[in-house]
Structure 1
Amino acid sequence: MATTLDQGLAPRLCIEEVRIAGHSQPIMLRSYRPAPDGTVLPIVLYFHGGGFTHGTLDDAEIAAATIARDTQAWVISVDYSLAPAFPFPAAPEDAYRAAQWAVANARAQRADPHRIGVAGHDAGGNLATCLAAIARDRGDIEISAQALLAPLLDPSMTRLADERKVTGSDMGMCECARSYRAYLPNASQRLHPYAAPLESRRLAGLPPALIASAEHDLLHIEAEKYAGELIAAGVPTEVTRHCKASHKGLATHPGALADVVTFFRKRLALVRPSGARGNKNLND
């Protein structure tokens, strides 16, 4: 059952929470919806950071509310299951169930189930692109765009920048290693395409991507490497590196979030047939 929350951060948004069945346990979703004006909204699923082991819906508040308000989209922030209590594949399967719920409830929210974006920071970036792959492979959900902020993509940790050359980093190798050990306790899982996107040889057919990296982040190399792999696979991809930004700070970085909004407004725009006028009718 949905419960209306304090609007503090985003007074022009209707913010509600709903609990749904997840892969291993019930999970909470937080919905951000602009005030209705007759427009049919695109949908964006957002996944918070925290290295697969921590993080909350509150950590995603700024990003989710900004995307909802400035893109004019129905944003669903997903409180996915965390390791080590719930290791892989609980989190990506929770993400998939959240996407299924969004599609099933789109009409009631005046949203378009055929215009879905996914976004996330840190571990949430991993889940966003893995959800895009799952949706492509299972074929029942159409995802049109993915935006990844300082994503965790490489459990092998072989593409990290040199710690001696990256100043001001707030994400160390040891912290990263602990996160992957908790999330992927079996070594074989660290090559699974739904856990290690950078190892996947099946990137073709993924939706257009925006990848944002941070100057002061050991992981900027793997993020930019993934962008190159997507481009090589024929996926339209934009990549930006934000100067003076850190790994954890990228989740609320104004420039990065502005890029995400611009990207989603472009990729999730309603395409009308030639000569059509007015808004799409949900009853058509």
Structure 2
Amino acid sequence: MRTTYSRSIPAGGPCAEPSLEISDIQIAGYERNIGLRLYRRAGSRSLPVILYFHGGAFVRGSLDDADVAARHFAEHLSALVISVDYSLAPQYPFPAALEDAYRAARWVDAVGRTYGAGGKKLFVVGHCAGGHIANGLAFVARDRGDVQVEAQALFSPMLDPSMTCLADERRVASDISARDCAASYRAYLPQAAQRMHPYAAPLESARLAGLPPTFIATAQNDVLHVEAERYAARLIGAGVPTQVVRYPSATHEQVANEQQALQDTVHFFQSRLAPPAVAIR
């Protein structure tokens, strides 16, 4: 089913956000069919693709939760944005959500042109557990070799099932707690051995080289900001071009829709979409 949303240009002039075409479809996932919500500027074709993974700590969340961010990227980048309704734990534990993400990426390669994809550049974005999944897809793409992720943006990602790097809850007004994190990891990674798998525990991985350029947005009022910033440092140490920004007034949930964080991500992706400079001799 396709629904087209049109926006009128306000009296202020033609600088308003463009009209978007929004479609809901289903594809085969790892254990069940999964939904995709596609956003693109009306009439646009041959677009780079952004896969977006909503938050919800592995156990909740929906395409509607991703709508603000997905719209922002579609309105401010010439890109086809695909929000992925991946499988949720505990009914579908690891690696279901990650394999759903991989199947969405493979779907883009196979039939994405029908929906406006150009087949050349793929970016991934995720918030909270979605950041974990986006980052895991970057690992899978590197290791399997049949998907190429050009860059990734992680918003307050969950990266460390061992939970050894959490900020002090007494000092940050976090809207996610250590107890919340522990329950989420138990649901998604029910087997202890899974919590050391490099795709599930990237902070513990010794193989970070070859991952795509990365932008990490963290929130001051979030117990997870320490581990995300430590991960950024490890990526830099492995030679991965990485930017990390902490947003001082945001919480874990708010950072996914933080306008400055969204715009910073737009600029990060724009720098990867621009053609390389040609030296003048």
**Category of TM-score, reference length = shorter chain:** over 0.9
Give the equivalent residue in structure 2 for 1:151: 157
Match of residue 282 from structure 1: none
Cα-to-partner distance string for 1:177-202 (whole Å, 9 max, x where unaligned): 11000000000000111111111111
Indicate the SS of the match to 1:43. strand
Which consecutive unaligned segments of at least 5 residues does structure 2 have?
8-16
Distance change >3 Å, CA 6–CA 13, structure 1 → 2: closer
Query: What SS class does the counterpart of residue 64 from structure 2 fall into?
Result: helix
1:213 corresponds to which residue? 218
Query: SS where residue 209 of structure 2 aligns?
Result: coil
CA distance in 2, matches of 1:192, 1:212: 24
Task: Tell me which residue corresponds to 2:190.
Answer: 185
Cα distance, 1:254 vs structure 2: 0.4
Letter in 2 for 1:224: E
TM-score after normalising by structure 1: 0.91
Aligned to 1:79: 85
Question: What letter is aligned with 2:143?
Answer: D
State the alpha-carbon separation in 2 of the partners of residues 245 and 103 from structure 1: 36
Aligned to 1:31: 38
Partner of 2:260: 255
| Contact 2:46–2:118 (CA under 8 A) maintained in structure 1 | yes
Residue-pair matches, total: 271
| Residue number among 202, 207, 210 corresponding to 1:202 in the alignment | 207
Using the alignment, how far apart are the partners of 1:223 and 1:34 within structure 2? 32
Higher RCO (CA < 8 A, seq sep 6+): 1
The answer to whether the Cα contact below 8 Å between 1:215 and 1:241 also exists between their aligned partners in 2 is yes
Cα distance in 1 between the residues matched to 2:86 and 2:276: 32
Structure 2 residue aligned with 1:243, among 224, 239, 248?
A: 248
The one of 49, 52, 71 equivalent to 1:46 is 52
- Partner residue of 1:5? 3
Structure 1 residue 232: Cα displacement: 0.5
Task: Give the secondary-structure state (helix, strand or coil) at the position aligned to 2:65.
Answer: helix
Separation in 2 of the partners of 1:274 and 1:69? 32
Residues 198-250 of structure 1, C-alpha deviations (whole Å, 9 max, x = no match): 11111100000000000100000001001001000100000000011000111
Q: Tell me the alpha carbon deviations over residues 74-111 of structure 1, each in whole angstroms, 9 at most, x when there is no partner.
A: 01000000000000000000000000111112332342
RMSD: 1.8
Contact 2:123 2:150 in 1 (8 A): yes
Change (3 A) 1:271 1:13: farther
Q: Distance in 2 between the 1:140 and 1:172 partners?
A: 37
| Distance in structure 1 (CA, Å) of the matches to 2:225 and 2:242 | 16
1:96 to 87, 98, 102: 102
SS in structure 1 opposite 2:38?
Answer: strand
Letter in 2 for 1:23: Y
| SS class of match (1:30) | strand
Equivalent position amino acid for 1:26 in 2? N
C-alpha separation between the residues in 2 aligned to 1:70 and 1:30? 17
* Per-residue CA distance 1:31-79 (angstroms, 9 max, x = gap): 0011225x63211000000000000000000001101110121010000
Q: What's the CA shift for 1:270?
A: 4.7
TM-score scaled to structure 2, two decimals? 0.92
Q: Which amino acid letter does the alignment assign opposite residue 253 of structure 2?
A: K
- Indicate the percent of aligned positions where both proteins have the same amino acid: 55
Matched with 1:65 is 71
Supply the distance in 2 between the matched residues of 1:122 and 1:274 (Cα, whole angstroms). Answer: 41
